[in-house]
Amino acid sequence: MQLNGSQIVLECLKEQGVDTIFGYPGGSILNIYDELYKQSDDFLHIRTSHEQGAAHAADGYARSTGKVGVCFATSGPGATNLVTGIATAYMDSVPMVAITCNVNLPLLGKDTFQEADIAGITMPITKHGYIVKDVRELADTLRKAFKIASTGRPGPVIVDITKDVTAKSCEFKKIKKVADKSAIKTYTDDNINVTIKMLKAAKRPFIYVGGGAIISGASKEVLEFAEKFDCPVCDTLMGKGAFDGTHPLYTGMIGMHGTKASNYGVSECDLLVTLGARFSDRVTGNTKTFASKAKILQIDIDAAEINKNIRTSYSIVGDLKEVLSEINAKLDQMDHTEWKEKINGYKEKFPLSYQTDKLTCPYIIETLYKLTQGDAIISTDVGQHQMWTAQYYKFRKPRTFLTSGGLGTMGYGLGACIGAKVGNPDKVCVNITGDGCFRMNMQELATASGYGLPIVEIIINNRVLGMVRQWQTLFYEKHYSQTVFEDKVDYCMVAKALGCEAVRITKKEEVEPALKKALGSKVPVVLDCVIEEDDKVFPMVPAGASISEAFDASDIEGEK
């Protein structure tokens, strides 16, 4: 049948099972939006307040559902406004297809009004990028884009289409999407057998779980492996929820703001089993001393991550769910009671703690957990509140924690929360942000209110850029350069002006009633939680130091 380019785009989205799009219209993409108008019964389109919000929403939708997120933008500034969201998705391996439209083909490369080489601009931050200049290539290009975005190590793909292609017609043949079974097994039985020998030889093993465990859907296998191996488990920021945060084997997050139990345990173990993690600098600290007493076994789907940051003793390249299934089938029940007792001693001696005589972010997060019992999707922005959330909210299930781990994108959380709510309408969705991050994309509250999305936005308001100030306090002689907000912005008034309910919290006793009301609301609610400006996230490892050098407030007091 003969279809024009705009019709082909939407037909290909239907083939891929897409029914939700986040975007913002403009001149070059107008043909597609006109066709979307005609097919509005087939798609839910969420028009965000800014294209960056659309990218973050598509990201949050993808992370929380496991589907490919889709966003639309027009040419020039519309497309470039997606860049930060695309980079965020790339760093955290999130499947996304960004569809942009450019100027007409004869006008490309002539500095035409609202022209930008978005495929070139995003080349370093996408798995692949396409410029479609021929309508006959459009369908196959879109199909390839979705396959690339969702297979192997996932990531964003951009498809830029010239405007004339969206108007021209060609023959289109529908195809039925089938499960991709073409993946080649990248490991052997010998790899599994060598791994089993390493596991059996270990006396002080530790399991380190990253975001790959969530992407591969391996949570069940990770749990079975940890219990069979009888081994302590730590996780990364991206791995939160892959392993139950209430399980007795769980020791907390590892790294710069990880628990002392995890950091000390990994520093003393003789085998570190790395599951779907890439040895980020925020995890390893000084790479020369990281897990220096241990053999390192790494299992990851991306061969490029093997020996990139840390030299391994042995590695398996493959899908974590499949690899662990084979390991679990061959691994006998093991017993590491003595080692576990030592790690439990660290957990008892060095628990996470905070001041209980005042309103703090950890108290707010613990109260949120108590009210939700972990049955919520939590997004965050980046900074102190992000680390407190990772420390004090017990994530029990995968795809319940959405945060920018690799790029560290301030302004990510609200869009991601909107995407999560759209993809999971029956779930409680909460974004925890700082006042600095809230300013980045607070206009997306208008998106939430406009579409009647009952999300909860918790602002941890200390009137400073908290994490930067913490570093200035500890390492820059309290030179608070440009980190204090001395303006008169009223976040509750902003929230109400954007169509949301808002409550200001200044005392501990106000937290639970406000949270209960917000969680039960049918409209978006903003909670402006005013805390002290000098609260700090502990434990902490100085940049470049060994993770065994983690310190907290008591260590600082002891030095005085």
pLDDT of 181 strictly over 80: no
Please indicate, yes or no, if residue 70 is contained in any of the structural domains. Answer: yes
Whether residues 93 and 165 share a domain: the answer is yes
- Kindly state whether residues 427 and 447 are assigned to the same domain: yes
Question: Are 341 and 367 in the same domain?
Answer: no
Same domain, yes or no: 320 and 443 = no
pLDDT digits (tens, 9 = 90+) for 339-380: 999 999 999 999 999 999 999 999 999 999 999 999 999 999
Which range marks the domain in which residue 458 is found? 361-538
Query: Does 447 map to a domain?
Result: yes
- Residue 59 sits in the same domain as residue 126: yes
Q: Is-contact 461 516, C-beta < 8 A? A: no
- Domain identity same for 277 and 326: yes
Taking all residues of the chain, what is their mean pLDDT, rounded to a whole number?
97
Q: What is the mean pLDDT of residues 155-175?
A: 97
If one counts the domains in the chain, the total is: 3
CATH of the domain at 287: 3.40.50.1220
| Same domain, residue pair 73 and 213 | no
Domain contains 507: yes
Q: What is the pLDDT of residue 528?
A: 98
Q: Is residue 550 part of a domain?
A: no
In percent, the amount of the chain with pLDDT more than 90 equals 96
The verdict on 165 and 302 lying in the same domain is no
Q: Which of 327, 349, 371 is the last residue of a domain?
A: 349
* Structural domain includes residue 316: yes
Q: Are residues 323 and 369 in the same domain?
A: no
In tens, the pLDDT along 81-94 reads 999 999 999 999 99
Distances (CA, A) of 332 to 227, 327, 551: 11, 10, 38
pTM above 0.85, yes or no: yes
In sequence order, what E strands does 61-104 have? 69-73, 96-102
Residue 396 lies in a domain: yes
Domain boundary among 326, 349, 372: 349
- Judge if 335 and 211 occupy the same domain: yes
| Residues with a known catalytic role | 51, 113-114, 163, 467
Give the residues across from 160 on adjacent strands: 100, 131
With respect to residue 503, please indicate whether it lies within any of the assigned structural domains. Answer: yes
Burial code of 295-317, b = ≥16 C-beta within 10 A, e = fewer?
bbbbbbbeeebbeeebebebbbb
436 and 517 fall within a common domain: yes
CATH number assigned to the domain comprising residue 133 = 3.40.50.970
Residues 404 and 522 in one domain: yes
Q: Which helix (H) or strand (E) holds 324?
A: helix 320-330
Sequence length of the chain is 560
